[in-house]
A = this chain, B = another copy of it.
């Protein structure tokens, strides 16, 4: 399969909770990092935009947790980008454990760009 972007990371011990598995909120961190790294490959810099008071924000997130990551696991995130409308974009992001390509999580993240008045604007054009 082909992906618009792919990144490999490794679980850090402080990301695991008392159950010994990665806490559910941490996957949102992983997914965000993958999106921002993808954006950078497109010349879009989340932090630079924020300085100009243009905020890339998540408006909806759907996450299906299939199997937990645990301490020391390497994993990779497949990122696919889609323009939904002039002001909305979607990411399909799947996380796989590197060792055996086991599916860990499927996510759909819908985002938009807000100007300094909080109005959605057309910003992201990824070909």
Contacts and interface: CB of A to CB of B under 8 A. Distances in A.
B50 A58 contact: no
A51 interface: yes
A19 interface: yes
A78 to B, nearest CB: 18
Given A61-B62, A64-B59, A14 B25 contact: yes
A60 interface: yes
Query: How large, as a class, is the contact surface on chain A?
Result: 35 or more
Number of copies: 4
A30 to B, nearest CB: 9
Contacts of A28: 24-25, 28
B20 A51 contact: yes
A63 B64 contact: no
Interface of A: 12-14, 16-21, 23-26, 28-29, 32-33, 36, 40, 46-47, 50-51, 55, 57-65, 68, 70-72
